[in-house]
C-alpha cells in the first residue's frame, strides 16, 4: 500500500490541515525539524529537503503512521490530549476532522494530525473521538505562506 505518490501531492492534499507554529533553526546535518505547536515541541522528519524551511512562523502538515487507533467508548471524557513519546512519536486522543478512507484520518489533538495505517482501520465519521499512538518518526511537510508547498 502507498500512502503518498509524492511529497508535493501529499502536501497539496492535506495543506488545509497544516498546524501553525514555530520552526526552530535546524541542527547541521539533522534530518529533523524542531516544530513548536499546540503547546508541544515535535521533532519531524523533514520531507521538504534539507534546509528548505527557514526558521520562524510556519505551517506544517504533521503526518504519522499509526500503531493503534481506537474509538473512545461511550462515557469517556472528550478532551484533546497529545503527549510526545520518545524522540518523534505521539499518543493522545482527539476528534476526527476528516476520514476520507479507511487508511488515513485527520485528527485534531491540540494540533491537526494526518494519521495513516498500512493495515486499515475503523470507518470513522467526522466528529468521532479516538485514542491513538504513532510509531516514530513523525513526518513534516512544510507549507508555503500562500498555501503552496515550500519545494
Q: What DSSP line would sit under the chain, residue for residue?
A: --S-S-HHHHHHHHGGGPEEEEEPPPPTT--EEEEEETTEEEEEEESS-TT-S-SEEEEEEEEEEEEEEEEPPTT-----EEEEETTTEEEEEEEEEE--SSSEEEEEESEEEEEE-SS------TT-EEEEEEEEEEEEEEE-TTS-B--
pLDDT digits (tens, 9 = 90+) for 69-118: 999 999 999 999 999 999 899 999 999 999 867 799 999 999 999 999 99
pTM, two decimal places: 0.91
Q: What percent of the chain is predicted at pLDDT more than 70?
A: 92
Q: What is the pLDDT of residue 146?
A: 38
Rounded to an integer, what distance in angstroms lies between the CA atom of residue 143 and that of residue 117? 23
Amino acid at each position: 500500500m502507498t500512502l503518498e505518490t509524492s511529497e508535493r501531492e501529499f502536501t497539496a492534499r492535506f495543506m488545509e490541515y497544516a498546524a501553525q507554529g514555530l520552526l526552530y533553526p535546524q541542527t547541521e546535518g539533522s534530518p529533523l525539524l524542531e516544530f513548536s505547536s499546540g503547546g508541544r515541541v515535535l521533532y519531524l522528519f523533514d520531507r521538504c529537503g534539507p534546509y528548505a524551511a527557514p526558521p520562524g512562523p510556519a505551517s506544517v502538515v504533521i503526518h504519522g503512521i499509526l500503531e493503534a487507533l481506537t474509538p473512545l467508548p461511550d462515557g469517556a471524557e472528550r478532551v484533546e490530549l497529545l503527549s510526545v513519546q520518545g524522540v518523534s512519536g505521539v499518543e493522545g486522543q482527539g476528534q476526527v476532522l476528516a476520514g476520507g478512507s479507511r487508511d488515513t484520518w485527520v485528527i485534531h489533538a491540540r494540533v491537526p494530525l494526518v494519521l495513516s495505517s498500512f493495515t486499515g482501520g475503523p470507518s470513522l465519521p467526522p466528529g468521532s473521538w479516538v485514542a491513538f499512538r504513532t510509531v516514530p518518526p513523525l513526518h513534516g511537510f512544510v507549507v508555503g505562506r500562500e498555501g503552496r508547498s515550500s519545494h
